[in-house]
A and B are shown apart, each in its own frame.
Chain A
Amino acid sequence: MPADALKPEEYFVDTEPYYQPVGDEIAVFEAAYHNRLPVLLKGPTGCGKTRFMEYMAWRLKRPLITVSCHDDLTASDLVGRYLVAGGETVWVDGPLARAVRAGGICYLDEIVEARKDTMVVIHPLADDRRVLPMEKRGELLRADDAFCLAISYNPGYQSVLKELKHSTRQRFVALEFDYPDPEREAVIVAREADVDKGIADRLVKFAVMTRNLKGSGLEEGASTRLLVHAGKLIGDGIDPVIACRSAIAQALTDDPEMIAAVNELSASVF
């Protein structure tokens, strides 16, 4: 066993993560937390939702348990299951149950990806009952006061299968995230990727161009995260145009014509 293996509920964020607030999201989250309300983070991919959660976990000094939801994630994966060990069955808590017991912040990333039965499990946790039904054990787990449930969701997906039902979304305090305004985004890119202001400004200008293309050929524009990636490559001495191609254009689309157009845009900016 490696020496630094941690139980999920022991994962405290010790050093302050870099987070650049865009509006009053920190105050709203804190107020929701103190009133024991669950929070829904909306926004396109790579705009800082997960970073915000890390920051809030640090700020509130609670352990952060992140579950990235995928389309095979079931309620048992969250709540827990019986395992066979040494000829006996042993109950093992899932990450959500652990967070509920430990009074941590449980962050279910991209919740719409998970199977529908997971919603049923989080509903009683997300209203004033704040209990987690553990069907297999015939128990209800009452949440610690410090427990907080947060989920994230990207409304940009156009798939009908990936919409959040009203019975779910109307339980949450919703915080909307978007890409920051160009100036702030440049500050973030400069700081995260450790590049100078000039490069960061141009990366952001390029990102705005790709976001102009959203809907007319691109599903999503370049996220702040991609800009940071490109910035890091540039910082390591990669030519900016090549960095944009590898870190951004290829990540955005597979359509050769679109890649060519995006490359021409980046070549124009740098």
Chain B
Amino acid sequence: MPPPLSIDDIAARLDEVLEVEFTFRNTRPAAESIAALPRADQEFALELVARVASTNVEIGYRVAVHAGRALASMDERMVEAWGLNATHTYDRVGLRPALQAVEEVEQFVHLDRMRRHGALLEEAAGVLLHFLHGLSGRELKLAEGEAAWTDTETIHLPNALAELPESRDNFQLYKVTAAFLWAQTRFGTFRTPLIETLAAHPRPEKLLALFATAERLRLEACLARELPGLHREMRRLAAAAGEPDLPAEWAAAAEVLRAHDADGRASLAVALDNLDRLQPVVTCYQGELRPGAVAECMAVRTEKEKALFRFKLKELADEQRGRVPDAGDTGKEPRFEARRAEEESASLEMEITLDEKPVPPPEGMRRLTRSIVQDFGGIPPDYLVPAGPGEYDPRDFEAPRRDPDAVWQGTYHEDGAYFCDEWDHRRQHYRKGWCVVRECDVTPEQSEFRTETLHKYAGLVRNLRKTFEAMRDEDRTLSRQPDGDDVDIDALVEALADAHGGAELSDRLYTRLHRSERNIAVLFMVDMSGSTRGWINDAERESLILLSEALETLGDRFAIYGFSGMTRKRCEIFRVKGFDEPYGAEVQGRIAGIRPRDYTRMGFAIRHLTRVLADTEARTRILITLSDGKPDDYSDYRGEYGIEDTRQALIEAKRVGIHPFCITIDEEGPTYLPRMYGPVNYTVVADVRKLPYRVGDIYRRLTT
């Protein structure tokens, strides 16, 4: 093992990465603390400082100062996470919180312990969300909060749980808590006049706490009936957390609350009657009750759902009338009634009758009905009046859709955009949610561009059609097969002759029809950066027209997207042709309308289009980039950074089974393309004007 570095060596290296020449930082104390470490840790610390300093020198400096302390209390993996956490914080919210994150080594150590023994919402959320959707009723959302509670639409859970010693049990605690909060919405905790009672009461806190305990007992009984396995788990966790049994004075109340027909009102009555006699008993999974937030959420929802429900009834009434002509406009109001589908009072399913005849509820209405029944325990009579003409427009209640172009008017913000990670090679880690990506349409240009192109390349078009037609893997008959649809007479004659001659009779006597279905989806990713202005843009558009014509003959599924951007805040993907769109006048207009824009930030485009391509069903998926140069963007996306991010994005694409390929007109291509696409997955077309001639050829080579 090499000897440890001296303080001076370390200081020299720190000076370099921390740019002391300009910043005049004193690296001495940091160097001293690092010098006390074994050699391997020294190298690790210096490396980490360099990685962090690539993002921000000040954060790098602080990491250097605290590295010794961090390495003393955590293993390397965690120290790395600690440093990178600071850079992520910097990306997200800026320098000051990032510096704070570095300082809080102890906090991070604590979190590390949580991670090892506790459960993190981040990791449990996937399973929990599926779990919640599997339980019946309204589809609840999941969100991080400082406590466990629900507003009847979203379940808030703390970001980490470490109440119990085992991480498995902590996950179970998450599950049980989520299920308990679900039970509140499912079994009518909020169908009580809780708010009014609390407001009118002299001791609202005590009342709420007692109500929470009473509800807990009632809901536990409901869960024991509905989900006995879950109830057992609740009991086990409560025991593991060392909770005592229910105090004896609660016994009588518990008896009442556990009855089959007890509802939220019963709990409220218990709380009101025993205000002085009983004390609240808390358990680890019951969370908090926040009647205010619930009331707010319910007010918005009930108004929306009532309008939607009445609107749906109107649709239903119209439809039923249309079906029975003589029941037409008799002037009689349709009379709707709602009845429980099953005798069991817990069911959420309702049967809707129109003039005493049951009507099948359309899809979508069933979910709405369930949600309403959850809120009210039934369908209130005023819901059963169909909406009058023009009374409601369901669109009033839809979330307003944002126009991607309008986002840029006024101050910029990030509404309605996708976020893409970006790879920072110096940090050796992703910048999370770094690029703000928007998908827009290209404005079609009504021109003679297609006709002109086809005319200009008339000879080539004929040629391309012919070659592409030949590529259609035609059905053909294979002879001399061991089995097949027909007898191969030639083979049979030969075989019989052989048999007469004493040789063995061959068994390859059939012909079989071979059908090979070309199953290819190809996505063309077109560089729309400013540098393509002029010849290059023309050549790109011409190539796309020619290729599209050829691909139409071939029958391969294809899509065309353009990309461009200016800084990470404005990454734009331009849809020219989606996979489902037919190649017609609209798409041809859009191809003609492709115009040079800003810069060439490539990583986000590859990541976004990878997703598009991965959602398309095909045996072979190809991503072809038409480009004119290196990845490049205003300020930060130059040189190695851009190349490394693009390379990382391509690796991600390959990982999901996509074959990337690049066609470039940059003669410098061979110096950087092998690094990004691999040694054979690119081709350089030196002369722009040859591009239209070459792309067809290249595509053919690529797919046969």
> How many whole Å from A24's CB to the nearest CB in chain B?
16
Partner of A269, one of B229, B487, B499, B515: B229
Q: Which residue of A lies closest to B515 (CB)?
A: A115
The answer to whether B499 touches A87, judged by C-beta atoms less than 8 angstroms apart, is yes
Q: B227 near A: Cβ within 8 Å?
A: yes
* Residues 165-206 of chain B, each 1 if its beta carbon lies under 8 Å from chain A, else 0: 000000000010001000000000000000000000000000
The segment from A30-38, A187-195, A229-237, A255-263 that touches chain B is A255-263
Q: A15 near B: Cβ within 8 Å?
A: no
Q: A156 near B: Cβ within 8 Å?
A: no
Q: Which of B127, B133, B134, B509 has the most CB of A within 10 A?
A: B134
Q: B130 near A: Cβ within 8 Å?
A: yes
The answer to whether B135 touches A264, judged by C-beta atoms less than 8 angstroms apart, is no
Q: Which of A87, A136, A266 has the most CB of B within 10 A?
A: A87
Beyond A212-B134, A212-B135, whether A267 also contacts B509 by CB under 8 A is no
> How many whole Å from B329's CB to the nearest CB in chain A?
33
> How many whole Å from A207's CB to the nearest CB in chain B?
10
* Residues 183-220 of chain A, each 1 if its beta carbon lies under 8 Å from chain B, else 0: 00000000000000000000000001110110011000
Residues in A neighbouring B130, C-beta threshold 8 A:
213, 216-217, 257-258, 261-262
Q: A167 near B: Cβ within 8 Å?
A: no
Residues in A neighbouring B233, C-beta threshold 8 A:
267-268
> How many whole Å from A143's CB to the nearest CB in chain B?
23
Partner of A209, one of B136, B139, B509: B136
> How many whole Å from B702's CB to the nearest CB in chain A?
23
The answer to whether B487 touches A261, judged by C-beta atoms less than 8 angstroms apart, is no
The answer to whether A265 touches B617, judged by C-beta atoms less than 8 angstroms apart, is no
Q: A242 near B: Cβ within 8 Å?
A: no
The answer to whether A82 touches B131, judged by C-beta atoms less than 8 angstroms apart, is no
Partner of A159, one of B485, B509, B617: B617
Q: A84 near B: Cβ within 8 Å?
A: yes
Q: A74 near B: Cβ within 8 Å?
A: yes
The answer to whether B127 touches A264, judged by C-beta atoms less than 8 angstroms apart, is yes
A210 to B134: give the CA distance in the assembly, Å: 6
Q: B496 near A: Cβ within 8 Å?
A: yes
Q: B114 near A: Cβ within 8 Å?
A: no
> How many whole Å from B438's CB to the nearest CB in chain A?
26
The answer to whether A213 touches B134, judged by C-beta atoms less than 8 angstroms apart, is yes
Interface size class of A (residues with CB under 8 A): 20 to 34
Beyond A74-B485, A84-B492, A159-B617, whether A270 also contacts B133 by CB under 8 A is no
A216 to B133: give the CA distance in the assembly, Å: 8
Residues in A neighbouring B134, C-beta threshold 8 A:
209-210, 212-213, 261-262, 265
Q: Which residue of A lies closest to B176 (CB)?
A: A268
> How many whole Å from A196's CB to the nearest CB in chain B?
15
Residues in B neighbouring A76, C-beta threshold 8 A:
485-486
A217 to B515: give the CA distance in the assembly, Å: 34
Q: Is the interface of B mostly helix, strand, loop or mixed?
A: helix
Q: Which residue of B lies closest to A136 (CB)?
A: B486
Q: B228 near A: Cβ within 8 Å?
A: yes
- Please report the total number of B residues contacting A with Cβ < 8 Å: 28
Q: B126 near A: Cβ within 8 Å?
A: yes
Beyond A84-B492, A209-B136, whether A257 also contacts B127 by CB under 8 A is yes
Residues in B neighbouring A261, C-beta threshold 8 A:
126-131, 134
A241 to B128: give the CA distance in the assembly, Å: 18
Q: A81 near B: Cβ within 8 Å?
A: yes
The answer to whether A213 touches B513, judged by C-beta atoms less than 8 angstroms apart, is no
Residues in B neighbouring A267, C-beta threshold 8 A:
229-230, 233
The answer to whether A269 touches B496, judged by C-beta atoms less than 8 angstroms apart, is no
A89 to B492: give the CA distance in the assembly, Å: 10
Residues in B neighbouring A81, C-beta threshold 8 A:
485-486
Residues in A neighbouring B135, C-beta threshold 8 A:
209, 212, 265, 268
A84 to B483: give the CA distance in the assembly, Å: 11
> How many whole Å from A112's CB to the nearest CB in chain B?
15
Partner of B487, one of A84, A160, A258, A266: A84
> How many whole Å from A206's CB to the nearest CB in chain B?
9
The answer to whether B227 touches A268, judged by C-beta atoms less than 8 angstroms apart, is yes
* Residues 85-116 of chain A, each 1 if its beta carbon lies under 8 Å from chain B, else 0: 00101000000000000000000000000010
The answer to whether B485 touches A265, judged by C-beta atoms less than 8 angstroms apart, is no
> How many whole Å from B255's CB to the nearest CB in chain A?
25
* Residues 560-598 of chain B, each 1 if its beta carbon lies under 8 Å from chain A, else 0: 000000000000000000000000000000000000000
> How many whole Å from A64's CB to the nearest CB in chain B?
26
* Residues 224-264 of chain B, each 1 if its beta carbon lies under 8 Å from chain A, else 0: 00011110010000000000000000000000000000000
Q: Which of A161, A261, A270 has the most CB of B within 10 A?
A: A261
Residues in B neighbouring A257, C-beta threshold 8 A:
126-127, 130
Residues in B neighbouring A160, C-beta threshold 8 A:
617
* Residues 63-79 of chain A, each 1 if its beta carbon lies under 8 Å from chain B, else 0: 00000000000101000
A183 to B130: give the CA distance in the assembly, Å: 25
A89 to B233: give the CA distance in the assembly, Å: 70
The answer to whether A74 touches B127, judged by C-beta atoms less than 8 angstroms apart, is no
Residues in A neighbouring B179, C-beta threshold 8 A:
268
A76 to B502: give the CA distance in the assembly, Å: 33
Q: Which residue of A lies closest to B496 (CB)?
A: A87
Partner of B509, one of A84, A213, A217, A265: A84
* Residues 91-108 of chain B, each 1 if its beta carbon lies under 8 Å from chain A, else 0: 000000000000000000
The answer to whether B133 touches A268, judged by C-beta atoms less than 8 angstroms apart, is no
Residues in A neighbouring B129, C-beta threshold 8 A:
261
Residues in A neighbouring B139, C-beta threshold 8 A:
216
> How many whole Å from A162's CB to the nearest CB in chain B?
10
- 21 contacts across the A-B interface (CB closer than 8 A): A76-B486, A84-B487, A84-B509, A115-B515, A160-B617, A209-B134, A212-B136, A216-B139, A217-B130, A241-B229, A257-B127, A257-B130, A261-B128, A262-B134, A265-B135, A266-B229, A267-B230, A268-B233, A269-B229, A269-B230, A270-B229
Which residues on A are within 8 Å of B, measured CB to CB? Answer: 74, 76, 81-82, 84, 87, 89, 115, 136, 159-161, 208-210, 212-213, 216-217, 241, 257-258, 260-262, 264-270
Additional A-B contacts beyond A136-B486, A269-B228 (14; CB < 8 A): A82-B486, A84-B509, A87-B496, A161-B617, A209-B135, A241-B229, A257-B127, A262-B130, A262-B134, A264-B127, A266-B229, A268-B230, A269-B227, A269-B229
